[in-house]
Structure 1
Amino acid sequence: MNKGLIKFFLDLGPLLIFFYFYKKHGMIYAIMPLIIATIISVFFVYRIDKKIPTIPVLGAIIVTAFGGLTLLFDNKIFFYMKPTIVNLIFAVILLYGEIILKKPLLKNLFEGSIKMTDEGWNILNRRWLYFFIFLALLNEIIWRTQSEEFWVQFKVFGLIPITVIFTIMQVSLIQKYRIDQ
């Protein structure tokens, strides 16, 4: 099995474990298995890549923090707001790069695998910035207006497909501004 596919399942695994425990026992009882599965997943990504995986580690810290707050205070709002806060943090980071540093931070992250003109990086950076804001707003609307069951379904089975579709939609931009080597 290829490394990319294994890492995809390691990313998806904790969510599926969360969903399983949620269906069996409810949200509060699903959070601790999610935290444990996320930490285990990060460990396996580390073993595969032989380096500390920055984004998965950050994700594990955030899941542990918000899951821990939810359990500590017995208040699901912390967990509901986690996707909102995470997406807003990503948006602010990209905005900071654009306004303060005057450079698209996505270029630093993906320059090793994607070669594009600066104009292409600026457009891609802005699209992701708006997309993160969109996801934050969408999460807020859903958790505040829908049932817990609907929010969990959205979190587990909605966010990933929405993100994959958005990512695929960026391929034409990448191809348009690609630099041939």
Structure 2
Amino acid sequence: MPSLESDTTPTRQEKENPGLKMALELGPLLVFFFANLRGEWLVSKFPALSALGGPLLVATGLFMAATVISLIVSKIVFKHLPVMPFVSGIVVMIFGGLSIWLQDETFIKMKPTIVNTLFGVTLLIGLLFGKSLLGYVFNAAFQLTDEGWRKLTLRWGIFFLFLAVLNEVVWRNFSDAVWVNFKVWGTMPITIAFTLAQMPLIMKHSLEPKSEDGK
């Protein structure tokens, strides 16, 4: 079993190489974007890629390869696999593989929908059973009251479902180029803006760090 840790549990290596950590997380998306943009050129230079299909499927194949490389390097350098990229990587392999095998781009377009729905539903079901699962992911970054974790978990659960719906709207109603641009350049700024918007709640419900004697 791979060692899975939360995305906010920093190892010594992560503290020393924050740029590499960001590159490993964003790298596969950038490979996907540029491979789709220059798909025909890549096929002309590497004819074997034509076996994958059209530009979007060529980009999908390279995205899958880049994702595997990213996870392997993360495991070697940082000594663990972050939970969310690991889960996302599994879905990339499944839906990307289906897209190429069946020559149907629908599967890779639905990947963000599946991943975000999975995260959102998991968080909300956890709340129904009295578990603020987000606390297991972010408790290394900050300590909150039980009420704070519940509110933050609810917000993130709803936000993940919002991203799932938004992805469906974009890929079903716009061109492949628009969807790829949204996936790479739209989702990240939206997520960053949402994260920053949670800071007042985090500050309001933060607990004072305990001293070494537990007081």
Q: TM-score range by the shorter chain?
A: over 0.9
Say how many residue pairs are matched.
Answer: 180
Task: Look up the equivalent residue of 2:202 and give its one-letter code.
Answer: I
* Segments ≥4 residues shifted beyond 6 Å: none
Aligned residue for 1:158, secondary structure, equals helix
1:114 to 142, 155, 165: 142
Aligned residue for 2:74, secondary structure, equals helix
Q: Is the 8 A contact 1:106 1:121 kept in 2?
A: yes
With CA pairs under 8 Å and 6+ residues apart, which has the higher RCO, 1 or 2? 2
Task: Look up the equivalent residue of 2:67 and give its one-letter code.
Answer: T
Normalization by structure 2: what TM-score?
Answer: 0.80
**Offset at 1:52?**
3.5
Partner of 2:35: 21
Specify which structure has the higher proportion of helix.
Answer: 1
Aligned positions of 1:44-83 closer than 5 A: 44-83=73-112
**Offset at 1:48?**
2.3
Say whether 1:170 aligns with 2:194.
no
In 2, Cα distance between equivalents of 1:97 and 1:16? 33
Normalization by structure 1: what TM-score?
Answer: 0.95
Aligned positions of 1:9-158 closer than 5 A: 9-25=23-39, 26-100=55-129, 102-158=130-186
Deviations 1:20-63 (A, max 9, x none): 11011120111111111101101111122212433322221111
Q: Is the 8 A contact 1:70 1:76 kept in 2?
A: yes
**Offset at 1:170?**
1.0
**Offset at 1:156?**
0.9
Task: Give ranges in structure 1 of 5+ residues lacking alignment.
Answer: none
Task: Look up the equivalent residue of 1:167 and give its one-letter code.
Answer: T
Deviations 1:63-99 (A, max 9, x none): 1111001001100111111111111100111012101
